[in-house]
Structure formats: structure tokens, C-alpha cells
Structure 1
Amino acid sequence: MSALVPLGSGVWYLPGAVNSVVVENGKGRALLIDTGLDDSHARKLLRAVEAAGLGPSAILNTHSHADHHGGNAFILKKFPELAVFAPPIEAAVINHPFLEPLSLFGASPPPELRTKFLLAPASPAQLIPPGQQRLGGVDLDLIPVPGHATDMYAVQLGDMIYVADALFGPEALEKHPLTFCVDSAAQKVSAASLVELGGVGVVLPGHGHPSVDLPGLVGANLAAYERTTAAVLATVQEQAGSVDDLLARVSVRLGVHTGSPAAVVLNRAVVSAHLTELQAQKQVHCAAEHHRLVFRIYS
């Protein structure tokens, strides 16, 4: 059984493909932050919380990607009284998860895009605004970090910050050269803004290990994001094309191995986001050509 790993006084995390954070409220219960992809992760999370002598007090989802809220349903079956909180736009998707594959595919998605990796069970999330909040008996600061998702929060708890997917660990960056985002320009701004936070001792990404070097982690992520932008621009410079044309060539350029339909639509969204950023910089433009949306170097 996986055990909780301490991050600070009354704060732990459960390592996994996605990290879950557990914050004690001083009354024998704990706020659960991000519940993982599925029942398996949620079961491990509840067992670890119970082994620590705690029970859940509430759930906070930092954003609506399935790997961060897919465990909600399992936990709510056992604790139906728990409130679920999420950023406003993300709460809508958690309540209606079909919006995730729908937005990625652009129409009613085929069965291959309705797996647990893109379509989590629905749960009744309440929207919570950013700033100082008290959730499940825990005081925390919700910091907007949009870009990876439309409306994502990092969570600061004293000198510890859980940055969710605003930053990734080095192994995750190496494994996924096309780091997912819906807005690459906002992703960079959010990552850079984290350096300005004061009093941070430990930083935990949603995917990766804790670090005490926040500036170094931010720098590594910004370098990775800029590499993707540069790769997309270089690919358009070589030859204009549709998003799908460019995705295939960018994937070869960056050594990306795409193994499933879900990976295709996720990577396609990344290329689209960087194309939008480049268009805002007047480096590329798009036009309808022969019934296709084609991106060319700006002239």
C-alpha cells in the first residue's frame, strides 16, 4: 500500500502518476487535493488517509483534466457528504465531463476518445474563486495559473506550494516534449509568475517529485515551453500546413511517439495553442485554402 509522504506540518502527498495532496484540518480530517485518474488511485488515497488516522473533509480539484478528478466518484460513493470545489470554468467540466473530449475533438467524440483518460465520471463540483479560502477546515491560498488548463489553481499552504500542472518535474518534461496546454502564452506567464511568490520552501508539481528549487523548476519548464514554440515555428517555416500536417512534422522533430487517438488530440491541441501564440506575435497567420485551415509564415 502506498503511504503518504510528508511535505510539512500537517501536509502530505500521495505519489503517483498524478500526485494527490492531503492537508490535515486539526480535527482528525483532511482536505484532499486532486484525486487521481480512477478508482484505483482513489482507493490508494483513501487507504493512505485512513492509515494516517484521518478522514476526508472535502475535495479540491485544481483543474478539470480527468487524471486530476477521476477519483472523485469513488470517494463520493463512500463519503457522499463531501463538498467538491474547483475553479469556475473547471467546475463546469467536472460537472459535465463530456465537455473535455467534445472540446478536443470538436464534435461528438468517437468511442476511442471516451476512455477514462479523457472522460472521467461526473461529480458535483462547486466553483470557488481565487485568493484566501477555507475549505474543509483548511486555510489556503488559491493562485490562478491558467495555460495548461483554462482556469487552473496552484495551492499555497504556508511555505509549501502545490503548483498542479503549472510546472512539471524534469522526468515529465523529458517524457512529454509536447507538454499539454490550451494557451501556451498564458502557460508561460503563469510559470514565470510563480518565481515572484514569497516564502516558498517546497514546491510539488502535479507530475513529479517535490523540489526546494522553485526558480530552477520554473526555468526548466519555461525552456521546455519555448522549445515547443520554436519547433512549431520552424516547422511552419519549412512548409505551410494544416494543424494535422504540422502536428505530424513537429512530432518527428521533437521525437514524440503517439500511441493512441487520445494522444493525437491532446498533442494536436498543444500545436494549436502554440500556433495561436505565434499568430498573436504576427509570426504566422492562417487562411482557408482548398477546404483546409492552413498556417503560413506571416507576411
Structure 2
Amino acid sequence: MSSSPVTALIALAPGVHYLPGAVNSFVVVGRETDALLIDTGLDDSHARKLLRAVAEAGFTPSGILNTHSHADHHGGNSFILKRFPELKVFAPPMEDAIITHPILEPLTLFGARPPRELQNKFLLAPPSPARLAPEPGLCRIGGADIELIEVAGHASLMYAVRVGEVLYAADALFGPGALSKHPLTFCADSGLQKQSAVKLSELEGIKTVLPGHGDPSDDLAGLVAANLASYERTTDAVLNAVNRGEASIDELLARVCDALGVTMNNAGAVLLNRAVISAHLTELLEDGRVEMKVLGNKLIFGAQA
């Protein structure tokens, strides 16, 4: 028999909890029963579970912090705001604009007004009025004292959240299961993605790290090493694809997917994985390992001469 999904908050430390899900929600208790909700999940279903869990624990939502603007991390905002309209939503720079105007996510991926197939909850969350979160460092949001750590790369800008000995890494780090299921880990900047993972590995005094996708771990160094190995594997796969002969981004995407055993069955998956290839190509271009040119009215990438 399969176990029932967890619908209650799980304590990571005094005043620090999370709700497991396809995306984890991080909850930090501040003044008395105030609860800062960090990442609200993909949709109304997750948000409903989050509110129920918070209420059953005796807490009251006091604010929302979205670590970045991907739909699976702020899709629950709208449902929560309908019940708690006084809550303020905070997000990093640039990310706040996308949360406020979610069409920017599929528009950026597609390069123009996206067709209906790309206007789904995985790429287009309901809008919510986000404002700028405080700059990285110690701060108070919704009555909760937290430390924001800049970890750009997976998104244009993203914050990890530290509370004492607990680190919510957001999508700067993924659990082993997520890395295995999605070998082409999404990123806007693969170079920064690697730097951010290394940055987190240098934190001292962390006893528990919670990735945005996956279970808590007491091995920060091991989790960082697994993520860096996965990111480098993608870079190597892109470089190997280029070394097989000059090709366009879409041709390189097909080669990389074949090499990594990735099967794409919908337009959204193609665009997301295409962006990953583009990010790693930019890194390789800047490292001088790949060259880019226009040939036959196509943008072509080849090995550096």
C-alpha cells in the first residue's frame, strides 16, 4: 500500500517547519503565532494543504516570500491571498516583476506571445502583487527573522533562506531523486548555478538543508557535490554534442536528450530543456570552448577552432 501524502507541517527546528510536496513550502514562525510562508507551491491544491497545515499547527500566515518566480513556487499565492488579502508578497529583484506579471515566464521561454499550449499552470501562474524583498542578509519579513542568501543561476535571481542551523536552499540545490528524474536541471545561467552551489557549501553551522524539491538532508557537502556533478554532466553533454558537428540549438537539444536518455512529450518540456542547452552554451562560449556563427540563416554552434 502506498503511504498517504503528508498534510501536516514537519518541524526541522524550533519555529522552523516545512510542508512536503512536489515543491516544498518552508514555514518560519515569528512573533507569537505569526508564520511566514516561503514558496506556496504550484496551485490551489498545494496552497489549500499549506493553509490547513499552518492552521492545525496553531499558526496564522503573516507574509509570503517567493524565493524565485517559477510557477511551481508561487502558483499558490493567489489562493492564499483570497483568504488573507492583507498579506504582503515579497520576492527578489526581477523575480517580483514576473510574479506580478506571470505571462513573462512563457513569453521569455517562447520568445513571443506564447500559444495556448504554453499557457498552463506549469508555466503561467495566477498573478499576485509582489514587492521587492529586502537585500540579502539578516532581515525580518512577516514578523519572522531570517537570513536571505543570493543564489542566482536556476532563476535570474533567487534567494535561499537560512534560519539558524536550517537552510532552505530553494532550487539552488535539488534532492537526489529530482536530479535523477530531471537530468537537464533547469537554469537561466549555468555558470552562476554552479557558483551558487559552491557558495552554499561554504556556509558553516548548517545541520539541516531542505532543497526546493526533495527531502531534508544533514549532509550539505554531499548534496552540493551531487548537484555540481549533475550540472557538470550537462555541460559535458552539451560540449560533446557540439563536438559531433556544427548544429543549431534544437539539433543540439536532440543530441543531448539522446545522450542523457531524456524523452520530451510536450512543447513546455522542449522549451524548458532548450533553455538549459542555451544556458550551458553561453557558459561554453564564455569559456572559449565553443563558437557561434550564422550559417544558412541559422544560428549555429561548433567546436572552437
- TM range, smaller chain: over 0.9
1:26 to partner: Cα distance? 3.3
- How many Å separate the matches in 1 of 2:138 and 2:9? 25
Is residue 98 of structure 1 aligned with residue 99 of structure 2?
A: no
Determine the C-alpha separation between the residues in 1 that align with 2:211 and 2:257: 25
Residue identity matched to 1:39 = D
CA offsets, 1:214-257, max 9 Å, x none? 00000000000000000000010012111000001100100011
SS in 2 for 1:143: strand
Q: Please, which runs of 5 or more residues in structure 1 have no aligned partner?
A: none
My pick for the range that moved more, 129-138 or 180-189, is: 129-138
Question: What is the rounded CA distance, in whole Å, between the counterparts of 1:203 and 1:219 in structure 2?
Answer: 14
Whether the aligned pair in 2 keeps the contact of 1:87 and 1:130 (CA below 8 Å) is: no
Check conservation: 1:146, 1:152, Cα contact below 8 A: yes
Who is 1:74 aligned against? 79
For the residues of structure 2 that align with 1:43 and 1:259, how far apart are their CA atoms?
A: 30
The answer on 1:6 being equivalent to 2:22 is no
Q: Secondary structure at the match of 1:16?
A: coil
Q: Secondary structure at the match of 1:282?
A: coil
Matches within 5 A, 1:252-267: 252-267=258-273
The question of 1:217 aligning with 2:223 is answered yes
What is the aligned partner in structure 2 of residue 243 from structure 1?
249
Q: Please give the secondary structure, in 1, of the residue aligned with 2:247.
A: coil
Deviations 1:170-216 (A, max 9, x none): 00000000000010000000001111111111000000000000000
Structure 2 residue aligned with 1:201:
207
Q: Does 1:271 align with 2:284?
A: no
- Residue 280 (structure 2) pairs with residue 288 (structure 1): no
List per-residue Cα deviations over 1:41-77 (Å, max 9, x = no partner): 0000000001101110000000000000000000000
The counterpart of 2:70, out of the listed 65, 76, 94, is 65
1:32, 1:97 → 2: CA distance?
20
Residue 130 of structure 1 and its aligned partner are, at CA, apart by 1.6
CA distance in 2 between counterparts of 1:260 and 1:131 reads 40
- Residue 138 (structure 1) aligned with residue 144 (structure 2): yes
Matched, 1:231 2:237: yes
Aligned to 2:162: 156
Q: Secondary structure of 2:294's match?
A: strand
% identical aligned pairs: 64
Match of 1:166 among 151, 172, 176: 172
TM-score, length of structure 2 as denominator length: 0.97
Could you tell me how far 1:141 is from its partner in structure 2? Answer: 0.7
What's the offset of the Cα at 1:160? 0.2
Distance 1:66 1:183 in 2: 18
C-alpha separation in 1, matches of 2:174 and 2:211: 5
Q: Which runs of 5+ in 2 are unaligned?
A: 1-5
| CA distance in 2 between partners of 1:89 and 1:268 (Å) | 22
| Paired residues, number | 299
- What CA deviation, in whole Å up to 9, does each residue of 1:75-94 have, x standing for no partner? 00000000000001100110
Structure 2 residue matching 1:88: 3-state secondary structure: coil
Measure, in 1, the Cα distance between the counterparts of 2:132 and 2:265.
35
In 2, Cα distance between equivalents of 1:118 and 1:214: 30
| Maintained 8 Å contact 1:169/1:207 | yes
User: Contact 2:153/2:194 (CA < 8 Å) preserved in 1?
Assistant: yes
Determine if contact 2:34/2:144 at 8 Å carries over to the other structure: no
Q: Distance in 1 between matches of 2:281 and 2:115?
A: 26
User: What's the counterpart of residue 3 of structure 2?
Assistant: none
Structure 2 residue 46 is the aligned partner of structure 1 residue 41 = yes
Question: Structure 2 CA distance, aligned partners of 1:50 and 1:261?
Answer: 39
> Which letter does structure 1 place at the counterpart of 2:293?
A
Moved over 2 A (4+): none
Q: What is the TM-score normalised by the length of structure 1?
A: 0.99
User: Where does residue 122 of structure 1 map in the other structure?
Assistant: 127
Alignment check: 8 A CA contact 2:242 2:301 kept: yes
3-state secondary structure, aligned to 2:94? helix
**What amino acid is the match of 1:58?**
G
